[in-house]
Amino acid sequence: MLNYNDFKLYKAVSVKLIPITSPRFLPPESVVVMPDWQQIFGNANPLVFEIGCGVGDFAAQMARLHPHWNYLALDYYNKGCIKTCKRADKAGLDNLRVVRDEARSFMDRCIPPASLRAVVINCPDPWPKLRHRKRRLVNAEFVGYLAGFMQPGADLYFATDFVDYGLDVAGMMPDLTGFENVLAPDLFRHDLEGYPLSKYMLKFMAEGKRIYYVHYRTTPQTGGDHGGS
Ligand SMILES: C[S@@+](CC[C@H](N)C(=O)[O-])C[C@H]1O[C@@H](n2cnc3c(N)ncnc32)[C@H](O)[C@@H]1O
């Protein structure tokens, strides 16, 4: 029987999708097996991966701020991918590519171990009800999994408006091996200098909520063993 996440993914891939024609969109058939990222971006710049990019406003700002990074923005929300592509096309951001997929499935197939320069997760679905908390994307197991795809010295950025989610992630990170806290001695901050604001961050801030930022970096020993298929 399908579990809830399988069902969401099934719906995402089975409903009639508006085709995406942008040259910055990586069509599903191009990400079935490990792609040649150097060939796709046309250079060997560091690869940065954003999970759940939504409409891509943050991704576009990051790609503009870091022209020497190859920025890969992923979401399984088709309209979000379309909007992200439109932004990137309009701004002529040649260092930004967009993928429509489920994060974990995509990483297993398409991200080489120990290859990512940074991972970005902004305002992931909070699953506010207590009985739904286990559906949250970010937990110790997931961060351990991410670590296998990150280079030594790679950045992990997490941001949420949801107090309980922010405190959970901030509280669990010090116990994980292979990461050092860039914000130490703080476990989290409500401002992160130089870090752009996403659509959801702006929405929550307009409602008077504060953002919880968590920023860690992999240690020199980290990387390579994600245990994924
Ligand atoms: C609350 S929105 C935040 C969007 C954006 N990061 C922002 O801050 O404006 C969460 C996004 O994550 C995407 N998402 C959640 N889980 C995902 C997964 N496992 N794989 C891919 N996308 C995912 C959703 O489709 C949604 O667009």
List the residue whose alpha carbon is closest to atom 17 of ligand 1. 52
Task: Say which residue the tokens 């994924």 belong to.
Answer: 228
Whether 124 maps to a domain, the answer reads yes
β-pairing verdict for 179-181 and 116-122: unpaired
pLDDT at res. 146: 98
Nearest ligand 1 atom to the CA of 126 is 1
Q: Where in the sequence is the domain holding 114, given as residue range(s)?
A: 44-218
Whether 168 maps to a domain, the answer reads yes
Catalytic residue among 89, 108, 125, 164: 125
Q: Give residue-wise pLDDT tens across range 73-131.
A: 999 999 999 999 999 999 999 999 999 999 999 999 999 999 999 999 999 999 999 99
- Annotated catalytic, 161? no
Which residues is 150 bridged to in the sheet?
116
Nearest ligand 1 atom to the CA of 124 is 10
Whether 32 maps to a domain, the answer reads no
**Contacts for 124-127 with beta carbons within 8 Å, 24 or more apart?**
124/51, 124/52, 124/160, 124/165, 125/52, 126/160, 126/161, 126/162, 126/165
Average pLDDT for the chain:
93
Cα 223 to ligand 1 centre (Å): 25
Whether 229 maps to a domain, the answer reads no
CATH code (residue 142): 3.40.50.150
